[in-house]
Amino acid sequence: MNYKKLNGDEKILLSHGGGGRETAALIKDILFAEFYGPDSNIINYDNGQNQIKLLEDAAILDSPKKIAFTTDSFTVSPIFFKGGDIGKLSVAGTVNDLSVMGAKPLFLSLGLIIEEGFLIEDLKRIINSVVQEAKKSGVKIVTGDTKVVPVGKADGIFINTSGIGKVLYENISVYNITDGDVVIVSGDIGDHGSAVMSQRDGIDMDVAIESDCASLWDMIELVLRQGCRVNAIRDATRGGLAAVLNEWASAAGINIHIEENDIPIKDSVKGFCEFLGFEPYQLACEGRVVFAVKPGYANRVIEILRSHPSGKNAKVIGIVGDKNRGDSRFKGKVILRGIYGVDRLLDYPSGELLPRIC
Amino acid sequence: MNYKKLNGDEKILLSHGGGGRETAALIKDILFAEFYGPDSNIINYDNGQNQIKLLEDAAILDSPKKIAFTTDSFTVSPIFFKGGDIGKLSVAGTVNDLSVMGAKPLFLSLGLIIEEGFLIEDLKRIINSVVQEAKKSGVKIVTGDTKVVPVGKADGIFINTSGIGKVLYENISVYNITDGDVVIVSGDIGDHGSAVMSQRDGIDMDVAIESDCASLWDMIELVLRQGCRVNAIRDATRGGLAAVLNEWASAAGINIHIEENDIPIKDSVKGFCEFLGFEPYQLACEGRVVFAVKPGYANRVIEILRSHPSGKNAKVIGIVGDKNRGDSRFKGKVILRGIYGVDRLLDYPSGELLPRIC
Instruction: Determine contact: B329 vs chain A, CB below 8 A.
Output: no
Asked whether the beta carbons of residue B351 and residue A22 sit closer than 8 angstroms, the reply is yes
**pLDDT for position A32:** 79
List own/partner pairs for B118-121 with CB under 8 A and 24 or more apart. Answer: B118/B11, B118/B12, B118/B156, B118/B157, B119/B8, B119/B9, B119/B10, B119/B11, B119/B12, B120/B6, B120/B7, B120/B8, B120/B9, B120/B10, B120/B11, B120/B12, B120/B30, B121/B8, B121/B9
Stretch among A145-159, A193-207, B183-197 having the lowest mean pLDDT? A193-207
Region A40-69: mean pLDDT is: 78
- With 70 as the cut, is the pLDDT of residue B204 above it? no
CATH superfamily of A14-167: PurM-like, N-terminal domain (3.30.1330.10)
Mutation target to probe the B interface, by most B beta carbons within 10 A, among A145, A175, A200, A245 is A145
Instruction: Determine contact: A280 vs chain B, CB below 8 A.
Output: no
Beta bridge partners of B233: B291
**pLDDT for position B352:** 64
Among residues 107-166 of chain A, which lie with CB inside 8 Å of chain B? Answer: 107, 109-113, 142-145, 147-150, 152-155, 158, 160, 162-165
User: Concatenated DSSP letters for A190-259?
Assistant: SHHHHHHHHTSTTT-------------HHHHHHHHHTT--EEEEEE--TTHHHHHHHHHHHHHT-EEEEE
- What pLDDT band is residue B327 in, cutting at 50, 70 and 90? low
Chain A nearest-CA residue for B331: A1
Q: How far is A70 from chain B (nearest CA, A)?
A: 5
Pick from A72-86, A265-279, B54-68 the range whose average pLDDT is largest. A72-86
Task: Tell me how many residue pairs between chain A and chain B have CB atoms under 8 A apart.
Answer: 297
User: Concatenated DSSP letters for B130-196?
Assistant: HHHHHHHHT-EEEEEEEEEE-TTSS-SEEEEEEEEEEE-S----GGG--TTPEEEE-S-SSHHHHHH
- With 60 as the cut, is the pLDDT of residue A82 above it? yes
- Name the residue facing B349 among A19, A67, A112 (closest C-beta): A19
Region B327-354: mean pLDDT is: 82
- Name the residue facing B55 among A17, A70, A174 (closest C-beta): A174
In whole angstroms, give the CA distance from residue A149 to residue B152.
Answer: 13
Residue A61: list chain B partners with CB under 8 A: 66-69
| Spatial CB neighbours of A225, under 8 Å, sequence gap ≥ 6 | none
Mean pLDDT of chain B: 89
**pLDDT for position A328:** 65
Pick from A39-53, B23-37, B72-86 the range whose average pLDDT is largest. B72-86
Instruction: Determine contact: A70 vs chain B, CB below 8 A.
Output: yes
Numbers of helices and strands, H then E, in chain A: 9, 16
- With 60 as the cut, is the pLDDT of residue A1 above it? no
In whole angstroms, give the CA distance from residue B147 to residue B14.
Answer: 9
- Name the residue facing A145 among B72, B98, B348 (closest C-beta): B72
Among residues 287-316 of chain A, which lie with CB inside 8 Å of chain B? Answer: none
Mutation target to probe the B interface, by most B beta carbons within 10 A, among A13, A43, A46, A60 is A60
Instruction: Determine contact: B105 vs chain A, CB below 8 A.
Output: no
**pLDDT for position A2:** 58
In whole angstroms, give the CA distance from residue B248 to residue B256.
Answer: 8
- What pLDDT band is residue B329 in, cutting at 50, 70 and 90? low
Rounded to the nearest angstrom, the gap between the alpha carbon of residue B264 and the centroid of all alpha carbons in its chain is 19
Find the largest Cα–Cα distance for chain A: 73
Q: Which of A60, A12, A62, A54 is nearest to A37 (CA)?
A: A54
Asked whether the beta carbons of residue A111 and residue B72 sit closer than 8 angstroms, the reply is yes
ipTM comes to 0.91
In whole angstroms, give the CA distance from residue B162 to residue B95.
Answer: 9
pTM (predicted TM-score): 0.92
Beta bridge partners of A259: A337
Q: Are B63 and B142 in contact (CB under 8 A)?
A: no
Pick from A6-20, A265-279, B199-213, B324-338 the range whose average pLDDT is largest. A265-279
What are the boundaries of each domain within chain B?
Answer: 14-167, 174-345
Q: Which of B183, B188, B178, B180 is nearest to B316 (CA)?
A: B183
- What pLDDT band is residue B278 in, cutting at 50, 70 and 90? confident
- With 90 as the cut, is the pLDDT of residue B177 above it? yes
Residue B140: list chain A partners with CB under 8 A: none
Mutation target to probe the A interface, by most A beta carbons within 10 A, among B114, B162, B196 is B162
- With 90 as the cut, is the pLDDT of residue A313 above it? yes
Residue-wise pLDDT tens digits, A176-194: 999 999 999 999 999 999 9
Left, alpha or beta for A55 (phi > 0: left; psi -120 to 50: alpha)?
A: left
Distances (CA, A) of A260 to A274, A311, A336, A344: 16, 19, 6, 10
% of chain A with per-residue pLDDT over 90 = 63
CATH superfamily of B174-345: PurM-like C-terminal domain (3.90.650.10)
Residue-wise pLDDT tens digits, A278-306: 889 999 999 999 999 999 999 999 999 99
Region B82-104: mean pLDDT is: 96
Chain A nearest-CA residue for B74: A147
Asked whether the beta carbons of residue B1 and residue A348 sit closer than 8 angstroms, the reply is yes
Region B243-259: mean pLDDT is: 92
Stretch among B227-241, B246-260, B342-356 having the lowest mean pLDDT? B342-356
C-beta neighbour count of A279 within 10 angstroms: 15
Asked whether the beta carbons of residue B60 and residue A167 sit closer than 8 angstroms, the reply is yes
% of chain A with per-residue pLDDT over 70 = 92
Asked whether the beta carbons of residue B144 and residue A71 sit closer than 8 angstroms, the reply is yes
**pLDDT for position B339:** 80
According to DSSP, the β-strands at A334-337 and A255-259 are: parallel
Q: How far is A355 from chain B (nearest CA, A)?
A: 6
Distances (CA, A) of B237 to A142, A209, B169, B185, B327: 20, 45, 22, 13, 31
- With 90 as the cut, is the pLDDT of residue A195 above it? yes
In whole angstroms, give the CA distance from residue A220 to residue A228.
Answer: 11
**pLDDT for position A3:** 60
- Name the residue facing B73 among A113, A284, A350 (closest C-beta): A113
- Name the residue facing B1 among A59, A112, A250 (closest C-beta): A250
